[in-house]
Amino acid sequence: MANSALLVAVTLAVIFIGSAEAWNKCPSGFKDCNPHKPGCETCVAKDPNNCGDCGKKCKTLPYAVTSCAGGQCKYTCEAGWGNCDNNLWKNGCETDTGKDPKNCGKCGNCCKQVANAETKCQGGKCCEPVCKTGYANCDKNIWSNGCETNTNNDPKNCGKCGLCCKQVPNAETKCQNGKCCEPVCKAGFGNCDNNIWSNGCEKDLTKDVYNCGKCGNKCPCTLKGGEPTCSAGKCGEQCKAGSEYDSLKKCCVCGRMMRKDHLKRHRQVGHNLEFCCGQLRLFCLLLIVEPSTSR
């Protein structure tokens, strides 16, 4: 019986000593937060699970290190991460400063971007810009004008810098999708010998009577004493040099016959100038010498 009484007394003493907080005996910054441990075992000034008070656990935030100082929850971003939107409680340290070109190495450190290229951030450092597909830095001045050349359609840099599409006379060789195309004749010219890589579009379709308007289109001539013409790609006919139309414009006669003073004289002597077509050569020969004024 005496032993039982002693055991009860010891137990009460332990409970009394371990419940010092109940008697406001815990030192500042400490509390008895664990009922299974005696005394004021918890430092509420530094414990993130009991920060400022028992059971007051600091919130866990993405990519942030949580601590408790002076009974207040504190957060610092993990290495390589930053709170760049200043919205820590919503999304923590949301920015990967090791890869984000707008926040490279630290918040607000933006890698310079240039035309038709992408400047990446690796390991918290800005890299050399990399040209986008279909563009190239052919003038070697990337920081000034970026990747200025479109290698999909530039005939001087077709597919890559320096690859120039062959140009031929009176034609244009284009670059499409990074490949040189067959030369295309300029307006008014034609590749009539089918040898475009050798001499280009060698025929002028605007004035060639054998290729008028298109290759192989030979201009006809029904005018007696005349010759075919090609102008602006359309066929016509005219009197040869040194001859002119007769009065009915059906044939060409010697130029001397069409002078008004000679026409008058020849009509006076009975020459039939309206019927000159069939006798063109004869008339031209006869009329080299002017008729006598005495007749």
Domain count, the chain: 4
Nearest partner of 169 among 212, 209, 217, 203, judged by Cα: 203
pLDDT of residue 162: 96
Nearest partner of 159 among 174, 145, 178, judged by Cα: 178
pTM over 0.75: no
Q: Are residues 216 and 282 in the same domain?
A: no
Phi, psi of 118 (to 5 degrees): -130, 125
Distance CA 92, CA 86 (A): 9
Residue 293 resides in a domain? no
Residue 104 resides in a domain? no
Give the tens place of pLDDT for each residue, 192-202: 999 999 999 99
Q: Are residues 252 and 222 in the same domain?
A: no
Q: Are residues 139 and 187 in the same domain?
A: yes
Residue 192 resides in a domain? yes
pLDDT of residue 118: 96
Interstrand relation of 30-31 and 72-77 (parallel, antiparallel or unpaired) = unpaired
Nearest partner of 82 among 68, 67, 61, 52, judged by Cα: 61
- Amino acid letter, residue 203: K
* Domain housing 67: 16-96
Give the tens place of pLDDT for each residue, 37-84: 888 988 889 889 999 899 899 999 999 999 999 999 999 999 999 999
Residue 79 resides in a domain? yes
Q: Which of 43, 65, 96 is the last residue of a domain?
A: 96
**Tokens standing for 214?**
């298109």
Residue 36 resides in a domain? yes
Residues comprising the chain, all counted: 295
Q: Are residues 199 and 137 in the same domain?
A: yes
